Structure 1
């Protein structure tokens, strides 16, 4: 099983729904003064932010690579697909967002290409809003988490070294024949704000720290404008 779909399986055991709803509310507040209409949610997951955008009368759609999360999003009635950015016509959206570490899953060379595609799908003067984990946020994630339920056991071991967070997942689920085991690894990469300031085609016009699980500045939300 691909790591994305494995993560989709274990997400209910991890929880953090309230913490992410607070992050989504932060994004909604950032959108309000921009007076925009069309929005693309990149890596939209289960579609929760698309639901909130729909409630606020935005014209929004999302893209998601995990087949499991895609199905969940489709079941709640939001517009979502497995399209790649380059499949959208140029100048399609007022805003694109990437919420919840999406950028941290890419290496620097991948990010440069990603931002070129984002630039293409945005209208002139359009905005891209995204959050990244700070170094402090990665250091907090370093460690082991064990969650045991009646028929499920989840163990997550994360190690942050040389600006890379490697997360190993072990998931056990009990059925009539015993326990089945699934495992996978996820890599995330630290990127300083100075890297994003040097990207072609965008200016970082605002940035904000955001705390998810502690008083630390675990995330930095950046507002980019296409130039």
Structure 2
């Protein structure tokens, strides 16, 4: 629909900005308590139209935001600098977080949207509203016979009339705590209970508009602040007008019957018709009222038929539009599925291609790495083989050296055994010579020749007498030193250990000390090597011979252990 057309339509049939603003003031008492509950006052107006409500809210200190899909309406808001934007009502609600608004309003928008969408709008409004927040939906009142049968269909964008009980139930079903139906825009004289009304007032006098004001759950103290607004009575209902009309008609008939029963006085006889004439008049009045009631019934039935036909046509049109929408949605869904499948196939093919390329690259890298590792392994094997060869050569050389060493050891052992044999031989000969010498010294011949030997010895040793005197003095000094050392065990032990490092000097000094009686036998025995290892047939050896024996035996033992 052309944007300019609908704005022009609104300007003619909705009313001026001043009139609409004045009518909207009826909702301010509902909003006023919210200022005592919250520090900020954000309000969203769905289908803001020309912005009369936005302008009024700004003047009252609230922070409104309007949304509308009609560019012509939005231009009127923008011309006044009002906060409004082009957006769908349901989409605008879904963009908001929970508990973010104090009120959601929609004036003459509910009748423009399909009922399933209206259900979503009410549910989303309940979500975004804070505790005690308000949802206000104003719509044409189908309770009015004129509206329900005629003026509602004047707007070509209307879907279907919405009875107040339906909107109230929808709000309560969506989670709101309470609902109030506020009837609006009836004529002022119809609010007076004493005002007489006619049949046309019954037909056309019902409030042409109404609003359902619903409130989010909150604490009892918070809800109490809204009691005056929710408890007040608003507008004129169809049943009220009908009852008022019936009551007025009954009063008139009762008055006529009372006057008839009393009879006319003399002065008024000329002013009233006779009883038969009155009876005829009453019959004519009754016939007239019956005709009027029949005409009213026929008109009402015709209007109901027209309304039912229009409703059926609207329902069929709505079903057709819904069917078309479903088909279009299915087609879009099918197209989306096909496109998604195509994208998925393309993505899968691209992914497969990337995997193949990656596999080829990975295989090439793996082959290169395998070649590198094979080359390194070959080099390692060659190096290992070279080292094994070197080790085998070294092992062969070691075996050769071992064999040579074994041969040399055997040769040394042989030579050592031969040397020990010779040493034992010469030892036995020395023992034999010593025994012969001792036998000779014990013989008579040795005693008889003693003077002669002494004479010869004196002649031979005379030149060395002086040397002997010197040696005697040295022996005395050495003897005193020996006695000094023996008297001090620590010094004796240290000197003994030091001298043992030079076996020859040690044995020579020990022999001198022993031969000249410079050391007691007990001290000498403690310093001599143990004879436990000396064979029995060698116990008669001298100290020097024993030492030679022990040295030889020690060398042989070390050779055997090596």
TM-score, normalised relative to structure 1? 0.72
1:180 corresponds to: none
Find the partner of 1:191 among 149, 162, 172.
162
1:86 corresponds to: 94
Q: What SS class does the counterpart of residue 207 from structure 1 fall into?
A: strand
Distance 2:114 2:144 in 1: 18
Higher relative contact order at CA 8 Å, sep ≥6: structure 1 or structure 2? 1
Distance 2:76 2:69 in 1: 12
Find the partner of 2:48 among 36, 44, 49.
44
Find the partner of 1:203 among 177, 200, 205.
177
How far has the Cα of 1:53 moved from its partner?
A: 0.9
Tell me if the contact between 2:100 and 2:130 (Cα under 8 Å) persists in the aligned partners. yes
Q: What SS class does the counterpart of residue 118 from structure 2 fall into?
A: helix
The 1:138–1:74 alpha-carbon spacing in structure 2 relative to 1, beyond 3 Å, is farther
Q: Does 1:134 align with 2:133?
A: no
Distance 1:30 1:201 in 2: 19
1:1-227 to 2 correspondences below 5 Å: 1-2=1-2, 5-14=4-13, 16-17=15-16, 18-35=18-35, 37-83=41-87, 84-99=92-107, 101-137=108-144, 139-140=146-147, 142-143=149-150, 165-167=152-154, 185-196=156-167, 197-198=169-170, 199-211=173-185, 215-227=205-217
Stretch moving more, 192-201 or 88-97: 192-201
How far has the Cα of 1:216 moved from its partner?
A: 2.3
How far has the Cα of 1:190 moved from its partner?
A: 1.7
Distance 1:44 1:212 in 2: 23
Point out the structure with max Rg over C-alpha. 2
How far has the Cα of 1:62 moved from its partner?
A: 0.9
Distance 1:208 1:135 in 2: 14
- 1:45-67 residue CA offsets vs partner (Å, 9 max, x unmatched): 11111111111111111111111
Distance 1:206 1:14 in 2: 27
Q: What SS class does the counterpart of residue 166 from structure 1 fall into?
A: helix
- 1:136-181 residue CA offsets vs partner (Å, 9 max, x unmatched): 34733755xxxxxxxxxxxxxx5xxxxxx4336xxxxxxxxxxxxx
TM-score, normalised relative to structure 2? 0.31
Structure with higher strand content: 1
Distance 2:60 2:53 in 1: 11
Distance 2:117 2:76 in 1: 27
Structure 2, unaligned runs of 5 or more? 188-203, 218-562
Q: What SS class does the counterpart of residue 8 from structure 2 fall into?
A: helix
How far has the Cα of 1:212 moved from its partner?
A: 5.3
How far has the Cα of 1:128 moved from its partner?
A: 0.7
Distance 2:14 2:162 in 1: 26
Distance 2:180 2:118 in 1: 19
Distance 1:45 1:189 in 2: 20
Q: What SS class does the counterpart of residue 49 from structure 2 fall into?
A: coil
Distance 1:112 1:136 in 2: 22
Q: What SS class does the counterpart of residue 189 from structure 1 fall into?
A: coil
Tell me if the contact between 2:175 and 2:216 (Cα under 8 Å) persists in the aligned partners. yes
Structure with higher helix content: 2
- 1:179-203 residue CA offsets vs partner (Å, 9 max, x unmatched): xxxxxx3223222233232432223
Tell me if the contact between 2:50 and 2:77 (Cα under 8 Å) persists in the aligned partners. yes
Distance 2:175 2:47 in 1: 22
How far has the Cα of 1:5 moved from its partner?
A: 5.0
How far has the Cα of 1:218 moved from its partner?
A: 1.5
- 1:80-115 residue CA offsets vs partner (Å, 9 max, x unmatched): 11233222233221111112x211122322211111
Tell me if the contact between 1:19 and 1:212 (Cα under 8 Å) persists in the aligned partners. no
The 1:141–1:12 alpha-carbon spacing in structure 2 relative to 1, beyond 3 Å, is farther
1:182 corresponds to: none
Distance 1:142 1:19 in 2: 25
Q: What SS class does the counterpart of residue 130 from structure 1 fall into?
A: strand
